Amino acid sequence: MKERPSFPARIDFSGSPVKSRAPSARATLIASSPIKTPGAQLASGLGLDSSAVRLNMVKKLAAQGITDNAVLDAMRVVERHRFVDSALVGQAYEDTSLPIGLGQTISKPGVVSRMIELLRQGSKSKLGRVLEIGTGCGYQAAVLSQLSDEVYSIERLRGLHDKARENLRHLRQPNLHLLFGDGMEGYAAGAPYAAIIAAAGGEAVPQAWIDQLAIGGRLVAPVSAGANSPGKQALVVIDKTPQGCKQTVLEAVHFVPLKSGLA
């Protein structure tokens, strides 16, 4: 892989065209440091910062069929309650999506672990360079940073980009880079990527993502199920080989819509 680009950097929109192009934007790099433990408590009185709370969530994920121990370990380490609004912390370790503002949500732990497990393809080692489309509140990026050599996470909504930056500031993950820009365009300056994961679903996977995926890489994203199933989405896995791309359609999912432009 090529060397990491210097920062600040500008998102390169000179690559392959995709639908609904947006103006280029300056990318923002964030490095963070360890999060301090607040005094939030579950209704049972068990502190949200307790490893037992997360271990219970992980046991449920394993019961649902997640078998990748590295993924389960990362889900146990990253404290989800730090990425949700204070009014919702009591639901942080339930397998449910929660609102994070601006019409967006933090995905269910089951969905996060499922998609990252698919991304890893059963590998015993860390992923290489990963591109995440849709940073949101930063939770999935934090999990990915535990399992990857390097993570670039891009968000088109300034409010959420700033929220993720604050949420991740004290994590001190030098391999995690937050970018403010149009995720439809990917981030060509960091390509090629060993893996790409999307937290929003469109009518099709943008060509820019395919172009930026390395040979031998894998992309996991929700995609519209088509005209016969309006409003429905399916999880899609795309493997890029020297002979071309192989697409596998999996289970039905529900994600926020993929949009272009900055807001």
Active-site residue numbers?
107
Q: Tokens 């389960």 sit at which residue? A: 72
Contact yes or no for 107/199 (Cβ under 8 A)? yes
Strands 193-198 and 176-180 turn out to be unpaired
Query: Side chain identity at 38, as an amino acid letter?
Result: P
Quote the strand ranges of 90-168, DSSP E. 98-101, 104-106, 127-133, 148-155
- Closest of 135, 141, 198 to residue 161, by C-alpha: 135
Strands 148-155 and 127-133 turn out to be parallel
